[in-house]
Structure formats: structure tokens, C-alpha cells
Amino acid sequence: DAKTTQPPSMDCAEGRAANLPCNHSTISGNEYVYWYRQIHSQGPQYIIHGLKNNETNEMASLIITEDRKSSTLILPHATLRDTAVYYCIVRVASSNTGKLIFGQGTTLQVKP
Amino acid sequence: EAQVTQNPRYLITVTGKKLTVTCSQNMNHEYMSWYRQDPGLGLRQIYYSMNVEVTDKGDVPEGYKVSRKEKRNFPLILESPSPNQTSLYFCASRPGGGVFYEQYFGPGTRLTVT
């Protein structure tokens, strides 16, 4: 699975958009970009995934660059409850082990 | 409500005293796994199971056992716990089949071994 690089921490004002970047320059053609988050020692929570196209769901948007070497998770209107560690994971969708490799992630602090 | 449950949520025990952490899911998922999370090391996979009676080692299986006698349950067994197994443990599940996108995680079990 490709390695990812994320900034260790970011701040965001409540109500503003939070843009979390992720670099994955060694991503392969069949690897997806997944985002999970972990709110203070709770179980990780799936947010969104994408392969090539930009994706949007009720939680967030995922913007993937055309060369697929980087992506940005966007929380359009961050709330205090979005304070969490956000993990960008790159892997194939098909796997026997199902293992997710969580790096250090980005700690997002949403401030009032 | 679709969920993964773990029990107990918190446990303090002594070295060598056998313990079991239970994990149960109500989504009829074929695949289940256990992770441990330690500061600076992220989440590491301990064991996984692709279906009933099918289990395999993850990255850090030493000192742990698992069983999968029913689809919904995947207990983690520490036969002789040691202090280096003090950690935060998560159980996860997902549908079977080769392609998957989302895994569901339990709330975690914080284990302290003294």
C-alpha cells in the first residue's frame, strides 16, 4: 500500500471549511484514497473514499488531483464535534487481510 | 442500529490472569478483525477472520488468540497478559467479498495490565 504524508496538526474556525491535505505520490492505479477519523480514543469512523473523481457525501468532500498524487478532504462547515484525528489511507479495495494502515494522521482542532 | 460492540470497555488486570475481550457485530459481516493502538505506533492489526472458523494472523499476533465460532462474534483472548499488552483495542467488521470500502469499528477497550 502506498505511503501517505499528512500535516500533524491544523486549526479551523467553527463554521468555516476545513481543508485537510494528504500526499500520496507513490499511489498505484488500482489504489483508492480513504479517509477515516478518530474522535478522542473512540473507534475510527469511515468518512469517504475515492479513486479518481471527486466525491461528496453527507459528511465531506474529497478532491483528488488529476495525477492522483495528492488529495484534500473538505469539511464544508466545521463544528466543534469535528475535532478529531483524520487519517488518509491509500490501499487497494480488494484485500484478503482487510488491513487498514493508519499513519499518524492530522489532528484537527476546531475552535469557537 | 448497525454497530460493533465490545466488552468490557475498560479493564485493569494483573500479569498472567487470563482474560477475554468480546466483540460482536449485528450487520451479518463476514470479515472481522482486531487492532491495538499505542501512542506513536498507530493502529496495528492483531488478527483477522474472513468468515466463521477462518482466522489468520495480522502484524502483531504474539500473546493473543482469537476464535470465530459464530459469524457475529470474534473474541480476543489473552491467555497470560503481560504489561506490554497494555493498550487500546478495537474490533472492526466489514462485509465479505474481495472489494470493500468501509470498515466499522467498535468503541474500544482500554486494557491495563499491571
Convert the pLDDT of each residue in A29-49 to its tens digit.
Answer: 888 999 999 999 899 999 999
Half-sphere exposure at residue A76, Cβ-oriented, CA atoms within 13 angstroms = 8
**What pLDDT band is residue B101 in, cutting at 50, 70 and 90?**
confident
Give B83's pLDDT tier (boundaries 50, 70, 90). very high
**Which of B42, B94, B108 lies at the smallest CB-CB distance from A102?**
B42
Give Rg (Cα) of chain B: 13
How far is A100 from B93, CA to CA, in rounded Å?
Answer: 12
Mean pLDDT of all residues belonging to chain A: 93
Identify the pLDDT of residue A103: 85
If you average pLDDT over every residue of chain B, what do you get? 94
Those of residues 6-65 in A touching chain B at CB distance below 8 A are 32, 34, 41-46, 49
State the pLDDT confidence band at A17, using cuts at 50, 70 and 90: very high
Does the beta-carbon distance from B58 to A45 stay under 8 Å? no
pLDDT confidence of residue A76 = 97
Residue A110 backbone phi and psi in degrees, to 5: -95, 125
Is the pLDDT confidence value at B29 over 80? yes
Of B31, B42, B98, the CB nearest to A103: B42
**A105: closest CA among B41, B49, B20?**
B41
Residue of B nearest to A94 (CA): B99
By CB atoms closer than 10 A (0-12, 13-18, 19+), residue B34 is buried
Residue of B nearest to A49 (CA): B101
Output the pLDDT for position A1: 64
Give residue B42's pLDDT: 86
Kindly tell me if the per-residue pLDDT of B97 is higher than 80.
no
- Please tell me which residue of chain A has the smallest CA distance to B98: A94
Percentage with pLDDT > 70 across chain A = 96
Partners of B110 on chain A (C-beta within 8 Å) are 41
Q: Does A101 touch chain B (CB under 8 A)?
A: yes
Average pLDDT of span B80-96: 95
pLDDT category of residue B59 using cuts at 50, 70 and 90: very high
Task: Kindly tell me if the per-residue pLDDT of A2 is higher than 70.
Answer: no
Calculate how close chain A gets to B79, using CA atoms only, in Å: 24
pLDDT at B98 (0 to 100)? 64
Asked whether the predicted pLDDT for residue A68 surpasses 80, the reply is: yes
